[in-house]
Every structure is written in structure tokens, then in C-alpha cells.
Amino acid sequence: MTNKTKDYLSKVRNKTGFSDYKISQKYSINQSNLSKYKSGKAALSETHAWLFANILNINPAEVVAHTKLEHAKITGSKSKTIFWKEQLEKLANNSKSIKIDIAQINPIVGDLDGNTQKIIKLTKEAHIRGCDLLVFPELSLIGYPPEDLLLREEFIQQVQDKVTLISQTISEDISIIFGAPSKKNDVLYNGAYLVQNSKLWVYHKQNLPNYGVFDEKRYFEPGHKAFIFECQGKRIGLVICEDAWTPKIISTTANQGAQIIISINASPFQVGKHSQRIEQIKQRVLTTKTNFIYVNMVGAQDELVFDGASFVMNSNADITLQLPLFKEKIQSVSFTSPTTLPDTDPIEKTIYNALVLATKDYIEKNGVFNGVVMGLSGGIDSALTLAIAADAIGTRNIKAIMMFYEYTSSMSLEDAKIQATAMNIDYHEISIHTIVDSFNTQLNILFNGMKADTTEENLQARIRGTLLMAISNKLGKIVLTTSNKSEMAVGYATLYGDMSGGFAPLKDVSKTLVYQLAKYRNTLSTIIPKRVIDRAPSAELTPNQIDQDSLPPYDELDAILELFIEQRYSVERIIKQGFNEQTVKRIIQMVLNNEYKRRQSAPGPKISQNAFGKERRYPITSKFQP
């Protein structure tokens, strides 16, 4: 038998922070009675049941009925046991059902008009469906992350105007929750607004993340109070993102009588992140025994990709609803029965879909470009980049350029054309022979007597970059760069050459993963020629050149880079993993020497736990040796 008296007493302790002695003194409860309550020898008196209900902000009739039932069982009264069971059943039957919908949406940062109209439109549609409560993600009114837009007074004022508009526009018969900044007494908070009966309430996020890609303490002050509200007779607690990873915040919310806890989120994607979310919420639910709704944003913003994957977990820690990854979705909540989760997708599929969404949203949300132009070299990186671009915006909006020189192999020319033809891409070939010759002629005066080296190699790449940027300017198409994370790490990319462009889909994708993603994409339809995947990678800037002339094999290189960049291992610790000392030191020095290049590189989507750019910020000028 569940001992309700001990349970209620424990909740009163947790909420008030009082000891039993303090509870006895504060609420005039006889110490003897309190000892019996604590030991389970007595059930709460009706007066104390009503008192505890008020402290916990829960229905007094429910507490009285539970403790009366408990007393009947202690005294062995069968008739009273039956009577109070019936009363509890009536209370349960009389409690109103509640229809909650999740709105997993893709807002645009700073698009206050568009985001406001989306919230209003979806709310009206939900009202027609009979929804009682519609829940949007964190900062859904302004998009995430808004960064220094939050420092502009006119931006915050426009936000407040939109909050007021929403509250005045939606029907009184539906409640909604959405995220937006909240300014109070010249202090800015990360807020979750509740609009109910045309009135506004706001919860302030308590735990502000300030690590990795997050810098919320730059803009917001933390809140300090739990937030509980009622809807259709249900007591609902509200938290924001990082709050849900904080046991004390969730326990406090539950101890104040929340039957359902809702967390609104802007949680970006990285490999393995969704399973981490599930595990964290499972721990909160098992501790508090509350139903839990996790609503996440979807879409991409610059370097971040939000995967959605919102879910519902009942008080037994069973997942009863799982929304898809990388798609907008509106769906009703259910706590009743565990859902059959789909088979876990291959990681290559998940990453590929993240890169496609990131590329699509970067191009379309900016609204500046009418498509893509990129160099198609016949190599694996450009082949995969072309596939991602086509899946993101469609083949009709892409122009692929093969810029060949005397070191370009016939195989590369053939494979580039084969892929472009298979994908129905607008494909062109440009010879750069005369351009390279012209540059070399002009430079010969300055370089007289000097041996050819990487200068002449890089010149080819810079000419190609210049041609692509010219086409971009003329046609209004964005240049996609094709360098991967391995190349960016060690500087195996040419500044103002193949690094020229506006977006880098593979920036956080290692070379070994590039091959895995290419093979995965070919399982959908064979568009990347098999020779491109099988052949040894080469920049083709000198005769018979391959990448392994100057780099270790990519599986070895990527293993070293993963330990140094993502795991933050020291050189000594990496060597202890069994790698050659000279190789490790040479590779790490290359990483350090090329920070200046990465600082000038195009943005690209984060998929790893430590991506170059917003997340990994190292000084360019530094004498530190790891």
C-alpha cells in the first residue's frame, strides 16, 4: 500500500525546506502526531490534510480522500475503504481531460512578423481542432540564437509589441506557451510566455548555459522561481531547456504540485545528442513521477542545426510520443501507452539529413541567393557537396563548374561529367591553362630563380576560387566550399582559393565520414561514381599527386584529430594511444599553425561535439604547446 501521509509529508519538507521540528512549530502540529505521520502509524487528520494541500497547491479533496482511505486501511474498516475508493474514482472521473499539442516549428531569427503570424495561424488551427494548450519551442518568437540582436533596444521593444499582439489576437478558449525575451525593470530574461484567457504570464529561465555554442549569460539574467499554472484542472509546471538538465529545478517544480512538466527547448543537433536528452529526462521523471513534455525547435541557423525530435514521456518513464527529426510537425500529446519507436536510423542518414537541412535553411532563410554555384572536381568532397546541395534546394538551382588544368586527370573530367549528367545538373567546363600561364608570366619577374613550390599549386586553387566568385556575383548564386574538417584542421585547403565561398556543408565532417556519407547517399540513388569513392584522394595540383604524399592515411589522421580537437587530449596522451610520436606532433602543429585560416573560413553546420567556429574558439596568436 502506498503511504500517502508519508508521501505528502515528504513533499511538504521538500517544498518548504523545513525540518519536521520546524513544520511542527510553523503549522502548529503536535510533535506526537507528526511522529506517527512520519512512521506510517497514522494517516493525516482532515485538518492537516487540508493544510498540506494548501501548502502543496493541490486539490484538498484529493488529499483528504487519499488520507481517509489510508486511515480506513490502517483501522481495517472495509466499508470505509470501499467508500473512499469510490470517492477517489469520482474525483478522477470528474477531473477534466486536457488536449495538449506540440508545435515543433522552424522559426527564422529576427523575423518577428513571420514568426508571429506562424504562431497565430497555428494557434487558430489548433483551436479549431479543440486543443486546450499549444506549446511552441524556446525563443520561438525570435528564433535561436538571436545573439547581439538582444542588445538592441528597438528589437526588444518590437518583441514586446508582438507578444502583446499575440495575447490580444488568439481566442480565450485556448492557452499557448511560446518563448521570447522578457524585460522587467531593465533586466532581460529568457522567457516562456503563457497566454491564457487573454492574459499574459511569464516564466524566467533559471539555468543559463554558457558553454560550447551557448553564451546566454552575455544577454540574460537567470530567474529564480518555479512556475506552475492550471489548465483544464491540471497543474502544469513550465521550464526552459537547460532547466530540465538540472535536477533541483525539476524537483522543485514537481514538489509544488505539478502533474505535468513542460520543457520548451532550442537544443541543437550533434551526434548522440537525442539519446542524451532522453536519458536526462528519464532521470527527472523517475525522480519526480510526473508526466513530461519536451518540445524542441527544428531548423538551421548559421552553424547550428536544430533536429526537433520532440517527445513525451509518462510518469513511468515510457516514451508515449516521438516526433520526427529535421521536420516541422504539430501533434497531440498522449500519456496513456508507450509508443513503438521506429528503428534507429543509421548515423550516416541522420548526419546527411542534418547537412541537407542546414544547407537548405542557410540559402533560403537568407533570401539573398537564387541558387548554388560550386566547383566539381571529380573528387569525393565536391561530389558529396553537390549531392547535399541538390537534395537541399533542387537540381534546377545549381550550376557546377569543372575548372581543369594540365594536372587534372581524364578520370576526374569523366567522373565530374558523369555525376552532373546523372543528377541533371547544369554543368560547364572551363580551362584555366591560359589564366595560370598569364599569372605565372607576371610573377616570374618577382620569382626569378626560385623553385616552384606550393605557391604555384595554390595559384591554381585561387584562380578557381576567383572564377567561382565571379559567377556568383553575376548570377546571384552562393558558392559552396567543399573542404572537410580534416583538411580544415591541418590547413590542407587554400585561403582565397578552394576556401572561397559563403557556406561549407562539410566543415565539421571528417574525411573518413565523407566517404561513409557518399556511400549512404548512393543507397538512395546512385549519383556519385564508384571510382570517385574508390580512388585515392588528390588535389591534382602537381603531377601524380595524392593527399597521402603529405598527410598520413585519413583513418589515422582523423583518429588523431578526433582525440585532439573533440576529446581535447594532450599530445602525450594521444601518443600513449599507440600513435607515432613524430606523426602526432607534426599533425598537432599543423592544427595550431592554421588557426588563422579557419578564422577566415565560411560557416558550416555543427554535427560533432566540438566544431570549428562558434564552438571551438582558439587564439590565432599563441605560444601554447599542448
DSSP helix/strand/coil, 228: strand
Compute the distance between CA of residue 369 and CA of residue 385 in angstroms, rounded to an integer.
17
Which grid coordinates belong to 126? 489548433
Between CA 294 and CA 299, with CA 297 as vertex, the angle to 5 degrees is 150
Rg of the Cα trace of the chain? 30
Identify the burial level of 583 via C-beta atoms within 10 angstroms of its C-beta, where 0-12 means exposed, 13-18 middle and 19 or more buried.
middle
345 is in an annotated binding site: no
Is residue 257 part of an annotated ligand binding site? no
Q: Give the torsion sign (CA, 111, 116, 118, 119).
A: positive
Q: Distance between CA atoms of 346 and 481, rounded to whole angstroms?
A: 26
Q: In what order do the strands lie in the sheet with 228-231?
A: 228-231, 234-240, 260-265, 291-296, 311-313, 319-322
Reference 223, options 254, 247, 189, 182; nearest CA is 189
379 assigned binding-site residue: yes
Please tell me whether residue 2 adopts helix, strand or coil conformation: coil
Report whether 267 belongs to an annotated binding site: yes
Q: Which of 178, 257, 187 is nearest to 224 (CA)?
A: 187
> Does 510 appear as a known binding residue?
no
Helices 454-475, 433-447: inter-axial angle, 10-degree rounding: 130
E strands present in 205-343:
228-231, 234-240, 260-265, 291-296, 298-301, 304-307, 311-313, 319-322, 329-332
Phi, psi of 346, deg, nearest 5:
-55, 145
The alpha carbon of residue 158 and the mean position of all alpha carbons in its chain are separated, in whole angstroms, by 26
Between strands 291-296 and 311-313, the pairing is antiparallel
Q: Which three cell numbers stand for residue 109?
A: 531569427
The response to whether 211 counts as a known ligand-binding position is yes
Helices within 76-207 (DSSP H only) = 78-94, 112-128, 153-169
First and final C-alpha spacing in the chain? 60
Q: What is the 3 state secondary structure string of 250-272? A: HHHHHHCCCCEEEEEECCECCCC
Angle formed at CA 82 by CA 76 and CA 87, multiple of 5 degrees: 125
Round to whole Å and give the CA distance between 498 and 468. Answer: 9
**Dist. CA 608–CA 603, nearest whole Å:** 14
186 is annotated as contributing to ligand binding: no
Q: Which residues are catalytic?
A: 138, 205, 241
| 116 appears as a binding residue in the annotation | no
Question: Annotated binding residue at 382?
Answer: yes
**What is the CB neighbour count within 10 angstroms for residue 152?**
11
Separation CA 333–CA 336 (nearest Å): 9
454 is in an annotated binding site: no
Which of 59, 67, 93 lies closest to 9 in space, CA to CA? 67
Is 458 marked as a binding-site residue? yes
- For residues 373 and 403, what is the distance between their CA atoms, to the nearest angstrom? 13
Whole-angstrom distance, CA of residue 8 vs CA of residue 2: 11
Cite the annotated binding site by residue number: 211, 267, 273, 375-382, 458, 482, 487, 597
Query: Which residues line the annotated binding site for deamido-NAD(+)?
Result: 458, 487, 597
Residue ranges of the binding site for L-glutamine: 211, 267, 273
* Binding site listing for ATP: 375-382, 482
